[in-house]
Amino acid sequence: MKESISKFITEGKALLWIKTNDFQEVERAMIENLNSLENKKFYIYEKGKTINFLNNSIESGMDDLFNTLDELYPQGIRKIPVFLLIKGGIDEILKKNNLDYFREIVGTKKEAPRYNFTVIVADEENVPPQLEDMADFVDKQITDNEEAIKKYILDLAKFQKIKLVEEELKKIIKELKGTIRKYSAKKASDIESKFENMIFVQGGKHQPSFANEEKEVFDIEVCKYPTTQKMWTEVMENNPSEFKGDNKPIESITWWEALEFCNKLSEKYGLEPVYDLSKSKEGILMIKELGGQKVYPDVANF
C-alpha cells in the first residue's frame, strides 16, 4: 500500500482510488509518505467532517464533501502541496457537483502539472464508472497478492541461487498476471455457459411434507435438463442405468445415491457438501447448515 501511494504521489497525479476496507492502513501509509515533505497540508474527510491532520482540528465550514473540495481546490495554486484523504462515502462522492469538482481537479492537474492539490479516496467499492477515466486505481487485495507472489519468487530464486534484478522480477510477475487473467476469463466463460442451462427459481415460503410449519426457501438455480448418464458417470464413476446411453437420463438409483451425487458435485466445484451421509445405512440424514452445525432435515435452515 505504501509503495502504491508513494508511486502515485511521485508521479504527480491528481486522483487515486483505493479499494480497501482498512481505511486506517491508507491513512498510515499516507502519513509515512508525507513525512518526507517539509511543508504540506493534509486533510481527512469522513462522514461530513474534515480534520486538519497537522493540528488535529476540525475545519469549520468544511462540513460536507463539496465545501471541502471548494475550500481546498484554489489552494492548489500555491507552492505548499495539499493532500485530501476521503474515507468512504461513495454516495456523496457520486453527487454531480462533486463529480464535476473531481473532473476540474484532474483537468487542472493535466493542464498545469505544478498544480498542488491531490485527492486519494479509500472505499470498499471498485472505482465507479463515472471516475474510471479520471482516477488511478489500486485494489488492496490484488496489491497484497502481488507482494506475496513477489516474495515467493525471490525466496525461490534465492533457494535456486538465481540472481534477479528488479526489471526481471517485474517481467515475471507481469507474465504470471497475464496467465491468471486468461485462466480467470476461461473459468468465467465456463461458469457462464453452465448458467445458460439453468432456470432461476425465486424463493419464498413452502411447507414440506415432513414439517408442521412453513419454511423459508432461498432463490436457487435449477438445471433445465435431467442429469444424464454421462454427467453421473463423470462424478460417480459408475452407471447403474438399465437403458444405457450417455445422453439419456440417469435411472435406477436410490435417493441416497442422489444425495451422494449432490455432495460429490459440490466438491467438484469447490463447494462444501451439504448432506451428512455417515448414518445413511441407518436411514438417518443430517444437514450441514451454513454455520457448520448438523441438524435434522425438518429443522434445517436451507
Alpha carbons 176 and 287: distance in angstroms, whole number:
40
pLDDT of residue 272: 81
**How many CB atoms within 10 Å of residue 269?**
8
pLDDT of residue 302: 44
DSSP state of 249: B
pLDDT of residue 13: 93
Task: Please give the model's pTM, rounded to 2 decimal places.
Answer: 0.55
User: Roughly how many angstroms between the first and final C-alpha of the chain, as a whole number?
Assistant: 40
pLDDT of residue 294: 62
- Cell representation of residue 69: 473540495
Distances (CA, A) of 146 to 184, 190, 212, 247: 16, 26, 53, 44
10 neighbors 33 (Cβ within 8 angstroms) = no
What lies within 8 Å, CB to CB, of 234 at 6+ separation is none
Cα dihedral angle (25, 30, 31, 32), rounded to 10 degrees?
Answer: 90
The 3-state secondary structure of 34-97 reads HCCCCCCEEEEEECCEEEECCCCEECCCCCCHHHHHHHHHHHHHCCCCEEEEEECCHHHHCCHH
Q: What is the mean pLDDT of each run of 10 residues along the chain (302 residues)?
A: 87 94 92 90 96 93 96 94 95 94 95 94 92 91 77 85 84 78 64 68 80 79 87 94 94 93 86 84 74 55 46
Alpha carbons 59 and 72: distance in angstroms, whole number:
11
